[in-house]
Amino acid sequence: MPPALTSITDDAKIALDNLADRASNLVNPSMRLGVTGLSRAGKTVFISSLVHNLLNGGRLPLFEAMRSGRVSQARLEQQPDDAIPRFQYEDHIDALVRERIWPDSTRAISELRVTLEYQSASGWNRMFSRGRLSIDIVDYPGEWLLDLPLLAQDYETFSRNTVDLARTGIRAELSKDWLSFASGIDMDAPADEGTARRLAESFAAYLKACKSDERSLSTLPPGRFLMPGDLEGSPALTFAPLADLPDTPAPKGSFRAMMERRYDAYKTIVVKPFFREHFARLDRQIVLIDALQAINRGPEAVQDLERALTDVLACFRPGHNSFFSSLVGRRIDKVLVAATKADHLHHESHDRLERLTGRLVDRAIERIGMAGAGIDVMAIASVRATREASVKDGSHQLPVIVGTPMAGETINGEVFDGTRQTAIFPGDLPADPETLFRQLGQPGSELPDVNVVRFRPPALDEKGGITLSVPHIRLDRAMQFLLGDRLA
């Protein structure tokens, strides 16, 4: 059982929020779907494609309510939370379809309400319900989710865990400047603002280097150091872990005491409000991951992704809600972990990507001692940017994918201009994921060679407007898992 993340006061506020939500649901049935992702996994693209396919009657054969024709209308409505920025669906879908560029990554929380009018599959339910469900999609950065474990850690534990991790593998080189600077600080000397600022800047530079495309590491709290927003320069973001902290209490007015106080302020000002006002109100959750990018970057990136998933799943309390239990402590009753960019592989490897993702999740669940009920894994492509083909290689037919590489993308020494298509062999994943995981702990081991190419979104005929549904891979299966039972 993970440590408690909230106090009695927090629980009381959460209970009041849940009471308000349930009262609203009596008039307008709704559910809150959280969408987050780790390291450029495609949250914005997922939401845009999901909404576009709902509004435009996309090909969703595995989404039973749409396939059977029970959904009569889907429309956007005003969101219930006026203090949260609206997810700019129109801008994002315009970028995907008309400009054929990928939307900007999520930098803050946003929300969008989609309301479905439907006919229940049950004749009894049709007698007593008009069949309407509002889906409030809450989009938030994965870095914010990775901050939640900090609520159960004091400053000493946070510093020890962060420094120990920074001294391992490729992080050791990336953290050298920060740790060197930190080791020269007299932590029991009087607090100094200039030293605190330089230390925080050095620590933030280390986190940014870990997140870069060249490394693609995932475990990077505190998340606001990577996206400070209007908190940039505030004391709550001007702190950093210290190495080799003594067991004795920090002297009053010391540099160490300043770091402890600001770490606690970060949890109070940044992490707790997110947990109480947003995360604790979610009904369902999808966590998007870019497993292919991690494999492409090597064993440490895969191990770090697994570590991040362990931390992420430890934050959830999956289980079934009764009406009365939901009033005081709503549970997320379904969690989907989806490996994105399945269109970067031939369909023969899609099941392998799914099994590999399942192995990542199984290990995370085992480590935190959490039952797997309510958790599923899938390999998806929110927007399918490639098509499949085959080329002759001697006497063999080689399966390839065909797409338009983004401008500046280099393949075998050739730089593409963003307009010309090409075919590539994407590589193979092992049929048994255990093969890959056995290699992770072996010095000098190499992972499967997966050819990760950045493709442009597909070209679609607009037919007088953006109405042709966006192609995808298994988006309908994800929708059935997350929404299907609420439309039964």
Per-residue pLDDT of 308-327, as tens digits, reads: 998 888 887 654 443 334 44
Whether residues 128 and 26 share a domain: the answer is yes
Whether residues 309 and 335 share a domain: the answer is yes
- CATH number, domain of 72, equals 3.40.50.300
pLDDT at 164 over 60: yes
Question: Quick one: pLDDT at residue 327?
Answer: 41
Whether residues 478 and 377 share a domain: the answer is yes
Which pairs with CB-CB distance under 8 Å and at least 24 residues apart come from 372-376?
373/318, 373/319, 374/318, 374/319, 374/320, 374/332, 374/333, 374/334, 374/335, 375/313, 375/318, 375/334, 375/335, 375/336, 375/337, 376/334, 376/335, 376/336, 376/337, 376/481
> Of the residues 271, 293, 322, which one is the last residue of a structural domain?
271
> Of the residues 252, 271, 290, which one is the last residue of a structural domain?
271
Whether residues 193 and 322 share a domain: the answer is no
Q: How far apart are CA 133 and CA 31, in angstroms?
A: 8
Half-sphere exposure of 198 (CA within 13 A, CB side): 13
Asked if residue 226 is part of any domain, the answer here is yes
Q: Could you read off the pLDDT of 333-388 as tens digits, one per residue?
A: 899 999 999 999 999 899 999 999 999 988 778 766 665 558 899 999 999 999 99
Query: For 163-167, 232-236, 309-313, which range has the lowest pLDDT when averaged over its residues?
Result: 309-313
Q: How far apart are CA 344 and CA 346, in angstroms?
A: 7
The two structure tokens encoding residue 358 = 């399942």
pLDDT at 281 over 70: yes
Whether residues 177 and 134 share a domain: the answer is no
Question: Quick one: pLDDT at residue 127?
Answer: 52
Q: Could you read off the pLDDT of 389-406 as tens digits, one per residue?
A: 988 877 788 889 999 999
Question: Quick one: pLDDT at residue 317?
Answer: 62
Whether residues 101 and 165 share a domain: the answer is no
Question: Phi and psi dihedrals of 455, rounded to 5?
Answer: -100, 150
Mean pLDDT of the chain: 87
Mean of the pLDDT values across residues 192-205?
Answer: 97
Question: Quick one: pLDDT at residue 348?
Answer: 87
Q: Which domain holds residue 182?
A: 154-271
Find out whether 239 and 266 touch, Cβ atoms under 8 Å: yes
Question: Quick one: pLDDT at residue 11?
Answer: 56
Grade residue 330 by pLDDT with cuts at 50, 70 and 90.
low
Asked if residue 392 is part of any domain, the answer here is no
Whether residues 33 and 132 share a domain: the answer is yes
pLDDT at 250 over 70: yes
Asked if residue 313 is part of any domain, the answer here is yes
Residue 365 neighbours by CB distance under 10 Å: 17
Asked if residue 185 is part of any domain, the answer here is yes
Asked if residue 405 is part of any domain, the answer here is no
Whether residues 164 and 295 share a domain: the answer is no
Question: Quick one: pLDDT at residue 477?
Answer: 98
Question: Quick one: pLDDT at residue 25?
Answer: 55
Whether residues 203 and 290 share a domain: the answer is no
Asked if residue 298 is part of any domain, the answer here is yes
Tally of domains within the chain: 2
Whether residues 92 and 186 share a domain: the answer is no
Question: Quick one: pLDDT at residue 447?
Answer: 78
Per-residue burial over 18-45, b if 16 or more Cβ lie within 10 Å, else e, is beebeeeeeeeebbbbbbbbbbbbbbbb
Asked if residue 253 is part of any domain, the answer here is yes
> Of the residues 271, 299, 321, which one is the last residue of a structural domain?
271
Q: How far apart are CA 118 and CA 100, in angstroms?
A: 33
Grade residue 208 by pLDDT with cuts at 50, 70 and 90.
very high
Whether residues 335 and 214 share a domain: the answer is no
Whether residues 199 and 254 share a domain: the answer is yes
Which pairs with CB-CB distance under 8 Å and at least 24 residues apart come from 124-132?
125/488, 132/28, 132/29
Mean of the pLDDT values across residues 31-53?
Answer: 93
Helical pair 350-368 and 299-315, crossing angle rounded to 10 deg: 60
Question: Quick one: pLDDT at residue 325?
Answer: 41
Question: Quick one: pLDDT at residue 2?
Answer: 44
Asked if residue 229 is part of any domain, the answer here is yes
Grade residue 162 by pLDDT with cuts at 50, 70 and 90.
very high
Question: Quick one: pLDDT at residue 366?
Answer: 77
Q: How far apart are CA 468 and CA 57, in angstroms?
A: 9
Mean of the pLDDT values across residues 139-160?
Answer: 94
